[in-house]
Each structure stands twice: as C-alpha cells, then as structure tokens.
Amino acid sequence: MELWTSPLWYVSYILVLIGLSGYGFHRLTIVYLYLKHSRKMPQPLKKFEELPLVTVQLPVFNELHVVDRLLDSVAKLDYPKDKLQIQMLDDSTDETTEICRAGVERLKAQGFDAELIHRTDRTGYKAGALEHGTEFAKGEYLFILDADFVPNPDVLQRTIHYFSDDKIGMIQTRWGHLNRTFNVLTRVQAMFLDGHLELEQTARNRSGRFFTFNGTAGIWRKSCIADAGGWEHDTLTEDMDLSYRAQLKGWRFIFLKEVETPAELPVDMDGFKSQQHRWTKGSIQVCKKVLPAIWKSKAPLYVKMEATAHLTSNFAYLMLICLCFLIYPNQHAAPDFGGWTYYIVNVPIFFFASVSVILFYLTSQKALRPKTWWKEIPYLPLLLALGIGMSINNAKAVLEAVFNHETGFVRTPKYGIDQKRKSDWKKSSYKAMKTLTPVVELLFGFFFLFVVVEAALNHRWASAILLLPFPVGFFYTSVSSLLRMLPSGGSAEDAIEPPNQDS
C-alpha cells in the first residue's frame, strides 16, 4: 500500500478535526451563555458614604512613548486627590525612568500623592513589580494600569462602589481600542479581543463560571491578593494565575462590560507575535499549575468543565499544526463514501471547527456595534487566516510551557499611537525579538500554496477554497515579520491599510 493512500492518514485527520470541533463547540456554548446572561448587569450592594483610598499602580518597563500619555490620563481621574495614591512601578533600563520621574513631579505639583518606585532588577518581571509596590500601597483597593492604557475619567466612580460587598475581590473593566483602525492588523486584533472580552468574560462571569483578571484595567482588593497567596511569578500570566487562586479561595469577581478602558494595540506583526506567545505560554503554565486544584475543589461540575476548556484551549494550536501535516495526505487517502455519507461525516465537523468561529466573532461585533457590525464582515476571512498563520508561533509557546522551557517576560512594544496621534513608530528603538519563526511560516505558506493549486488543477474547488486561508495566513504572518527586518522597516500591514475611521 502506498504511503499517501494509507487510511491511517484519514483517520488521524478526522480525529484532529474532532478535537478542534470540541473547542468550536465550546465557543458556541460561550455564545449561548452570553445571549442568556449578558443583560444581567451586576449592581453595587450599596454606595460608599465616604470614598475609600485607592492606590493606582502603573507597572512600566521601557515605555518612553506612552508614559506621559498614561500619567496625563491618570491625572484626569474623577476621584478626590486626597483619596488617590499613584505608584509608578518602573523597571526601565532606558530614558523612560527620567520621563517617569519628571511625570511624578508634575503630579506632585498638582497635589497628588505620587511616587516613583524604581527597581534596578526585574526579578519576577511585572508580577515582581506589583508585589514590591503593594508593600508600600496605602489603599485597600489597587487600580492596575499598563503603560499603553488611557482610562476614562469616570472609571473609578463607576467601579469602586461594587467593593461595598466584602466578598468582591476584583473588578475588571472591558478593554477598548485607541487605534482600532490604524491598519488591518489592529482591526483584526480588535475583533479577536472583542470576542474574548465581550463574549467570554461576560458569559463566564455572569453565568457563575471562573473568569480571570486581564492583567490591567481592573481593581483588586488588597486583602484578596494576600489571601490568595500574593503575586507569584512562576508563570508568564500572573494575572490568570492569581485570578484562579483567589476564586478557589471563595472570592467573587465582577466583569463590567459596560465600563470601557481604552488601550493601544500592537501595530506590527512582531509585537503581536511576542504578545501572543507570552499569553499562550503563560496560559498553559497556569493550566499545569491550577487545573488539579480546580478539580479537587467543591466547584460544580459544569464550572470545572468550563475552566478545563478555558485553560486547555491553546492546545488547539498543536492540533492545528498536526492538521497542517495531515491535509495533503488526506487529499489522497480520503475514502470515497459516495452519496450523502460524505456530507454526513464532514459537514458537522466543518461547522464546529470553522463556522463556530465566525459565529463567535460576529456575535461579539453585533453586541458592541449593533448598527455597524456588518462592516466587520470583510475582515473575517483575514481573521481566520491570521489565526492559522499564528499557529506556529503559538504552538511553539505551548511546547515551551509543556516542557518547562524557561523564557523571560518579553514586553510588547507600544509607540503612543491612537486615532488622533500617529507617531513615526518605525523609527523607534523598540523592536520585538527576532526568531526563525517567520522562515518556517514562509515555508508553510509555499507548501499550502502548492496544496491549493493542486486541488484547483484537479477540479477539487471546494477543497481549494476551504484551504485558501492556510497560505494566506502563513504568508501574512511571515512576510509581515520579514519586511520589518529590511532597512526601511516596512510591513505588510501598511500595504493594505484601511480608511482611518472608526466604524
């Protein structure tokens, strides 16, 4: 029997698709839970008669382009100055430290209780900075903001009163996007994040499941952090780790999708890849760390099952890579079922593995933009392609976590870009780390181009169309990174920049 015609290829192909379909089915359950529970906006138990002291923690590492914008926005918070403490938690090794020092002095001159806490080492990275800063925090409530965020002035007034319930440990606001329409990449990223923040976080929180702090734009009760064991830095996603530990201790969290805190999205592919690598690897590290405790807890079975699906979801990238190696052999090994049998086998798998993703992101856009959601439809094919193209980068992160390969906390470069201000970011000294991943992605792109062309030449038009996102995705992620290595620093994103208007 020839190698390519072995039925083992087809069986393996179907098993991988069934695995991906399982995570697709999970997306559909999230959509169902969102539609069922999203209108249940939580209300504060009561309002504080006297506003409590809040410590605003601003962890920073080499963020010279955005620090001033961050401090300006914090100075505009609609909250009594005598009830605010501002901590600039700076681990920088460049001129960012001097910008922070000057900014803190400006705040002091305006009457704020502000201080610069500069560490000369990055022990624990962001988690270490937060842990160190919390030792000097005067407030019982800690409002954490990453350097690229620009909080709205009323954010504390709209959130702090939920802590009148002593059982509430953390309140998370929904991220907005300052530069959503800067280029195609930011447009697609915004859709990815909208799906997570609008659908997943809302569905999990308001249906009684576990949900997690997103690392920024949220407020913690200091005693909750201490009770959960404090900030730990044995994973790259300290926010997810602490969230699960706190909820396992019995603390309740609130997600307020109605309160938006805008932030800047990475504008180049390398920055996006480094961010996704860190998030993906960290989530698997947390999975290994807390999943046994979740199953030993007294949480209901449906809560444990959803947490398992959430924590293991990034293993889908390994399945996607396996699928890449199985697609071509399957073109030659798939048995001829004949009649309706082919559709009975393949249509349900295709629905749960692919169509569910489209429904998931369309639902999030319709929820956030009820009048203009249809304008996002043209970006859906690229969203699917980008998800495929990122599979090598993210599968690498999964394997590093599984095999305990240690890597540092790599920050995502931000350039102070929003819809009103567009800095010349290509001239910045901040660059994401370079790897061989784009070369591997390029090879995958050429391989799948061959697969698509062969399918078309053999008149398998359905296969050619369904497989088209594979070469598009791999070429997009690889060429975007490779172009950034050129002296001009160009990018594929700039070549297809959409109109600069937020729709």
- Catalytic residue (one of 91, 194, 241, 418): 91
CA distance 120 to 291: 35
CA distance 500 to 37: 34
SS3 state at 295: helix
User: Cα torsion at 229, 159, 413, 365 (round to 10°)?
Assistant: 120
Q: Taking the CB of residue 41, how many other CB atoms lie within 10 A of it?
A: 11
Q: Is 91 a catalytic residue?
A: yes
How many Cα atoms are found within 13 Å in the side-chain-facing hemisphere of 319? 20
Both structure tokens of 501 = 């208007």
Cα atoms in the Cβ-side hemisphere of radius 13 Å centred on 356: 20
CA 404 – CA 407 distance, rounded (Å):
9
CB atoms within 10 A of CB 272: 26
Read off the tokens for 374. Answer: 């249809």
Long-range contacts made by residues 332-335, C-beta under 8 angstroms, separation at least 24? 332/4, 332/5, 332/9, 333/4, 333/5, 333/6, 333/7, 333/8, 333/9, 333/10, 334/10, 334/13, 335/7, 335/10
Is the distance from CB of 285 to CB of 235 less than 8 angstroms? yes
| Structure token pair of residue 413 | 């470069």
CA pair distance 357, 365, nearest whole angstrom: 13
Which single residue is written with the structure tokens 């992160």?
397
DSSP element (H, E) containing 366: helix 356-368
Other beta carbons within 10 Å of 500: 11
Count the Cβ atoms, other than its own, within 10 Å of residue 182. Answer: 25
Q: How many helices and strands in the chain, by DSSP H and E?
A: 20, 7
Query: Phi and psi of 118, rounded to 5°?
Result: -105, 125
DSSP state of 178: T
Q: How far apart are the first and last CA of the chain?
A: 56
Distance in angstroms (rounded) separating the CA atoms of residues 369 and 383:
18
Q: Catalytic residue, from 90, 146, 148, 239: name it.
A: 239
At 172, give phi and psi (nearest 5°): -110, 135
Characterise 276 by phi-psi region: left (phi > 0), alpha (psi -120 to 50), beta (else): alpha
Residue 202: how many CB atoms within 10 A of its CB?
A: 26
Verify whether residue 239 is a known catalytic residue.
yes
Catalytic residues: 91, 239
